[in-house]
Structure 1
Amino acid sequence: MPVNATLINLYHICHRELWLHAKGIRMEHTSDTVYEGKLIGNTSYQQRPEKYTELEIGGSKIDFYDARNKVVHEVKKSDKAERAHLAQVKYYLWLLEENGVEGATGILEYPKLRQTEQVVLTDKDRSDIMDWLTDIDLILARKECPGLLNKPICQRCSYFDFCYSAESG
């Protein structure tokens, strides 16, 4: 499976979920948290589909791209995984650059929090992305699934039952 923005996001959250997702083991359809995030993304900026385009690039899909101003808009439910969200937007910007779109920027939006964050791609980000891609390839090449994180974020994860079904009380 080629690396896409979802895998970049998951790389910054949980290597186990990254590996499972890439292997086709998907649990998002069972998650109220994922459903709520999609609902927020679809209802917060209802005029967006008329103003911006959906862009598929390098195996990734940017939901809202302002081609005239070269701005990626990414809507998220909460800022709990902000590092992963920033990485995802930076990866979009890198993909655009790799495909000849210079000077694109991003806006990370948290409508429930009424917050936005400007995102730009730096030389350090470009270097980091190359490291992420190498690490992701190594994780995906593993024959065995990475271990459990066992962190508070696991409680809200769509893979929680899958990961902890064999755990005792």
Structure 2
Amino acid sequence: MQSIGGLHMQYYVVCPRKLWLYSKQIGFETEHDRVIEGTLLHEKSYPRKDKELVIGDAVVDVIDDEYIQETKLSSKMQKADEWQLLYYLYLLKQRGIEKKGKIAYTKEKKVVEVVLTEDNEKELKKKIAGIYRVIESDSAPKFKKLPYCKNCAYFDFCFALEGKDDAT
């Protein structure tokens, strides 16, 4: 069984089709402007790699006594960002480490606190099962046009398969 990381959780929340493509290593992301911008932000924000914490296939940007922190460019995908961070908190909890989380949004200069509760832990378990269903499937989930498709690295791929009329 393939192990999952925080990006799997984020993609599942954003778009299961994106998750499936990513899990099959169909990657257009290395040349996508937003991905490059995010990579540069990460490298600039965290030049010292010793701030990172690796938990299985998950990599947390910063950890201190009370918090783990992720840094994102903008809060446009805040719900997905929160679930990614909740997943990290869940992985830590399974290892006997209890922390709170913070997401720092650099463009808005805003910080959001995230706390793992019993309710979102139950929801996380459902999402993890959903991720495995998607990545173990032989075919991609059905195309669903979403408001942020035009900014996705997989835009051309999805719309080429579904027809150009769907892109407008």
Please report the TM-score for the alignment, with normalisation by the length of structure 2. Answer: 0.90
> Structure 2 unaligned runs (5+)?
none
Give me the whole-angstrom Cα distance separating, in 1, the residues matched to 2:146 and 2:114.
28
Indicate the residue corresponding to 2:23 in structure 1: 22
Deviations 1:115-167 (A, max 9, x none): 00111110011101110111111112221111222122110001111111242
Partner letter of residue 127 of structure 2?
W
- Counterpart-to-counterpart distance in 2, 1:8 and 1:89: 9
Pairs within 5 Å for 1:131-150:
131-150=126-145
* 1:161 pairs with 2:162: no
AA matched with 2:24: K
Structure whose residues are more often helix by fraction: 2
Structure 1 CA distance for aligned equivalents of residues 146 and 100 of structure 2: 32
CA RMSD in angstroms comes to 1.6
Q: Offset of 1:53 from its aligned partner?
A: 2.0
CA distance in 1 between counterparts of 2:144 and 2:68 reads: 31
Cα distance in structure 2, aligned partners of 1:136 and 1:99:
21
Q: CA deviation at 1:63?
A: 2.0
Mapping 1:1-169, distance limit 5 Å: 1-43=2-44, 45=45, 49=48, 53-66=51-64, 69-102=65-98, 104-166=99-161, 167-169=163-165
Q: Is the 8 A contact 1:49 1:64 kept in 2?
A: no
Partner Cα distance (2:144, 2:111) in 1 = 29
For 1:40 and 1:30, locate their aligned partners in 2 and report how far apart those are by CA, in whole Å.
15
Superimposed CA distance per residue, residues 32-75 of structure 1 (whole angstroms, 9 cap, x where no aligned partner): 011112222333x45x738x621111211112222xx1411101
Q: Secondary structure at the match of 1:25?
A: coil
SS where residue 152 of structure 1 aligns?
coil
Q: Verify the 8 A CA contact 1:41 1:77 in the aligned structure 2.
A: no
The aligned amino acid for 1:11 is: Y
Paired residues, what number? 163
Per the alignment, in what secondary structure is the counterpart of residue 52 of structure 2? Answer: strand
TM-score when normalising by structure 1: 0.89
Percentage of pairs with the same residue: 31
Structure 1 spans left out of the alignment, 5+ residues: none
